[in-house]
Amino acid sequence: MTDPRIAGAGVTQFGKHPERTGRDLFADAGLEALDQSGVDPDDVDALYYGNFMGELAEHQGHQGPLMAEAIGVDAPATRLEAACASAGAAVREAVKTLRNGEADVVVVGGAERMTNIGTAAATDALAIAADDLFEVRAGMTFPGAYALMARAYFEAYGGSHEDLAHVAVKNHEHALVNEHAQIQKEITVEDAMEAPTIAAPLGLYDSCPITDGAAAAVLTTDEYAEEHGLDAPVAISGTGQGGDNLALQDRPHLARTPAADKAAEEAYADAGIDADDVDVAEVHDCFTIAEVLAIESLGLFEPGEGIHAATEGTTSRHGEMPVNLSGGLKAKGHPVGATGVAQLATIAWVLDGTHPRADAVPDGTVGVAHNAGGTVASTTVHVLEVQE
């Protein structure tokens, strides 16, 4: 068994494109990925596509075949939904399909149209990732859920809102050179601390924006890449997925994300690496506290230590363990169903040296992508490695 290769990837400009349809967004990313890969679209055996709220935002279900058509691919197409980890789940299906020999070429991607329905309706739509009976009916919003986790984290381990502000400042700085990013604006710790509160203790700058966008990647078997002379130096060497109780109230610990622990453990074992081997990570920072929880679950920091990482500069592009060189969800934006594949594209570009922040890890060979759904009741982790 050999590791699937990333032959090409495409990401739209993330931002406010309320007039652009989901199919148009996905075509933008998908065609770029196909063009960059050099793969003949007729060779594509399957499309796995992530999307979370298409029914609510566009009154559009059954998006798989629609998106295959949009990129000129005639192949079985399936949509996956795992809240914000929908695209990560799509990547995992693609990897499994390629590994078990059922396909030579798979397109993986995702798209989300969100700003067309406005902030209130988008907030409402995002909340359906939580438990409707026991959480949403008790007023829980998506930011509210992470605020509950943030307060529980501070109680268990210490740290403060100011530490979270450093996460936001770092990710905004990383995004300054990312032309795909929704927000390219430097902010200060003071800006983040003084921003309006949305769900105490979290403020506006602790939260990712609401975003329209799409991402896609063309994955092939090692054999296909070799036979067709593709330039595809980065392989997906490990995949993992973990789950947890959907409702926060049913979990024994609110300051930990065991679904991500399990996903990381599985992905590292699959790739034959451990956390010490990781050179760079893209993690799911839908809220600043989520980055802290993610880097602890990935084993990059001990429980209770992740909160200090951004404050101490360890996770900045100048630090020992750069995290979210893209700007993360925080600054790059979070078109929910596309995020997992946008992370994959970022790591591939950092490792092959074409990302504008690749100079943060000039000798990097191992990267991880952590994609979390809801309050981390679903998580996928993928390990990417340079395999010349």
- Known catalytic residue: 84? yes
Query: Going by C-beta distance under 8 Å and a sequence separation of 6 or more, which residues neighbour residue 341?
Result: 9, 50, 87, 90, 91, 108, 109, 110, 215, 216, 217
Report the nearest approach of another protein to the CB of residue 198 (Å): 4
Report the nearest approach of another protein to the CB of residue 294 (Å): 19
Residues forming beta bridges with residue 369, ordered by sequence position: 282, 382
User: Nearer to another protein by C-beta: 1 or 120?
Assistant: 120
In contact, 30 and 62? CB cutoff 8 Å: no
Q: For residue 385, give the H/E element and its range.
A: strand 378-386
Q: Exactly one of 17, 84, 172, 180 is catalytic; which is it?
A: 84
Report if residue 275 touches another protein, rule: CB under 8 A. no
Residue 199 CA neighbour count, 13 Å, CB half: 19
Q: Exactly one of 161, 180, 308, 334 is catalytic; which is it?
A: 334
How many residues of this chain bind another protein (CB under 8 A)?
36
Report the nearest approach of another protein to the CB of residue 55 (Å): 17
Report if residue 53 touches another protein, rule: CB under 8 A. no
Give the residue among 26, 41, 127 at the shortest CA–CA distance from 79. 26
Query: Which of the 8 DSSP states describes residue 84?
Result: B
User: Nearer to another protein by C-beta: 96 or 151?
Assistant: 151
Report if residue 193 touches another protein, rule: CB under 8 A. no
| Amino acid sitting at position 272 | G
Q: Report the site for another protein in 228-247 (rule: CB under 8 A).
A: 245, 247
Report if residue 377 touches another protein, rule: CB under 8 A. no
Report if residue 16 touches another protein, rule: CB under 8 A. no
Question: Cα separation of 338 and 388, whole Å?
Answer: 28
Q: What phi, psi does 249 have (nearest 5°)?
A: -60, -20
Question: Cα separation of 68 and 308, whole Å?
Answer: 44
Among 201, 233, 299, 303, binds another protein (CB under 8 A): 201
| Amino acid sitting at position 244 | D
Among 100, 179, 196, 276, binds another protein (CB under 8 A): 196
Report if residue 248 touches another protein, rule: CB under 8 A. yes
Question: Cα separation of 160 and 139, whole Å?
Answer: 24
Report if residue 192 touches another protein, rule: CB under 8 A. no
Report if residue 354 touches another protein, rule: CB under 8 A. no
User: Nearer to another protein by C-beta: 200 or 269?
Assistant: 200
Report the nearest approach of another protein to the CB of residue 3 (Å): 34
Cis peptide before 201 (omega within 30 of 0): yes
In contact, 215 and 110? CB cutoff 8 Å: yes
In contact, 5 and 383? CB cutoff 8 Å: no
In contact, 289 and 359? CB cutoff 8 Å: no
User: Nearer to another protein by C-beta: 119 or 160?
Assistant: 119
Report if residue 213 touches another protein, rule: CB under 8 A. no
Q: Report the site for another protein in 94-153 (rule: CB under 8 A).
A: 119-121, 123-124, 127, 133-141, 143-144, 147-149, 151-152
State both tokens at 156.
């268990």
Question: Which region, judged by CB under 8 A, interacts with another protein, from 83-91, 173-181, 192-200, 211-219?
Answer: 192-200
Report if residue 160 touches another protein, rule: CB under 8 A. no
Report the nearest approach of another protein to the CB of residue 211 (Å): 17
What separation, in Å, do the N-terminal and C-terminal C-alpha atoms of the chain show?
17
Q: For residue 269, give the H/E element and its range.
A: helix 258-271
| Residues noted as catalytic | 84, 334
Residues contributing to the site for another protein (CB under 8 A): 119-121, 123-124, 127, 133-141, 143-144, 147-149, 151-152, 155, 196-202, 245, 247-250, 254
